[in-house]
Amino acid sequence: MNDKLANKNVLITAGAQGIGESITKHLIDSGANVAIHYFSSADKAKQLEEYAISKGQKAVVIGGDLTNETDANTLLEKSIKALGSLDILINNAGSLVARKMLNEMETEFWHKVMDINLTSMMFVTRAAVPYLEKNENSSIVNLASLAGRKGGHPGSLVYSTSKGAILTFTRALASELGPKGIRVNAVAPGLILGTSFHDTHTSKESAAKTIEGIPIQRPGNADDVARAVLYLASEYDGFITGATLDINGGVYNM
């Protein structure tokens, strides 16, 4: 339990599946009010909303395609209408979509993955800042990836590129928004099993080989990431901004 989050108003994108679901659950258990965005996981989003309400907290679920600028703006409008204000933004939405090598890369696919992972984050953040800056201290946490550090496995060129850009987006935005009292940080998860992402895009053989190279000798799980996200989100009066917290069991460090 993190009592610093009690009664704080939080928007999380893609907050109803995988890592996002775990983050949302941890936020609710810490006493936060939540606006839960979803793209395709409507049933799980509704369950999380009901769970928050059962604990006496505000909650709303909002569907939308965040690569669409109008949907991103509407997400913020509906979040503010339901919660009243915004203290924290968790930019979690993203996808690898499919593995494609450079010689297989259609221009449309490149733009699709970049839009899902990066352009959508810009749309949502741009819409959120006018509300975040109304508070003395606010916080943004962006979901990057170990792939953005190391380049990822073969076939993840555009995904890795977009996640690397999120690392720079985070640093640049921290400088820009610091004077407004908004901290901006990121997390970069490594192999996080038990999520639809790796269930879809990572073979058992590839996962086993990756685990062999992890010093801590196990894969990560969604809760490992959620705890780190909550820490960065809740330190609104802290001194950490422009940072990326690597969550990978020691396979990569700087």
Q: Cα–Cα distance between 167 and 144 in angstroms, integer?
A: 7
39-to-45, 63, 80, 160 alpha-carbon distances in Å: 10, 5, 19, 22
**Residue 51 is a catalytic residue:** no
End-to-end Cα spacing for the chain: 30
Check 159, 231, 236, 252 and give the catalytic one: 159
Q: Cα–Cα distance between 211 and 216 in angstroms, integer?
A: 9
What's CA 238's distance to the chain center, in Å? 20
115-to-39, 65, 171 alpha-carbon distances in Å: 14, 11, 20
29-to-19, 26, 78, 248 alpha-carbon distances in Å: 15, 5, 23, 25
User: Which tokens sit at 97?
Assistant: 């979509």
Phi, psi of 47 (to 5 degrees): -65, -40
Bridging pattern class, strands 138-143 and 182-189: parallel
Amino acid, single-letter form, for residue 194: G
CB contact at 8 A, 57 and 31: yes
Q: Which residues are identified as catalytic?
A: 159
